[in-house]
């Protein structure tokens, strides 16, 4: 399953990577593993200690929040475009 993943510079910075990559992944778990394989150490930026996606990282699939598509149970379709967005807060 080939998908395009757009990664903001804030996540990629220091990883020596691009902001848009083509990866093969069937679901979010496989996507996180593929990103870690390509950019070692990236998973620490995206996941908590248990390996689950950090609640401050938003994932959109074709401009739709993955939480409304089934969350971690969503299965990517060939050609999906995935966007990872870290939440930014301040005051």
Q: Which domains does the chain have, with CATH numbers?
A: 2-86 (3.10.20.30)
In tens digits, the chain (91 residues) has pLDDT values of 799 999 887 777 655 555 889 999 999 999 999 999 988 888 888 899 998 888 889 999 999 999 999 998 999 999 999 999 888 766 5
- For 91, residues 6+ apart whose C-beta sits below 8 A from its C-beta are none
The per-residue pLDDT for 90 is 64
**pTM of the entire structure?**
0.85
Quick one: 44 exposed, middle or buried, by C-beta within 10 A (0-12, 13-18, 19+)? exposed
The per-residue pLDDT for 19 is 80
- For 8, residues 6+ apart whose C-beta sits below 8 A from its C-beta are 19, 84, 85, 86
């Amino acid at each position: 399953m080939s998908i395009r993943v757009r990664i903001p510079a804030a996540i990629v910075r220091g990883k020596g990577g691009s902001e848009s990559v083509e990866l093969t992944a069937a679901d979010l778990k496989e996507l996180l593993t593929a990103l870690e394989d390509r950019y070692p150490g990236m998973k620490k930026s995206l996941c908590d200690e248990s390996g689950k996606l950090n609640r401050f990282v938003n994932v959109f699939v074709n401009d739709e929040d993955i939480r409304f598509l089934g969350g971690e149970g969503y299965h990517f379709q060939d050609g999906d475009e995935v966007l990872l967005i870290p939440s930014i807060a301040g005051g």
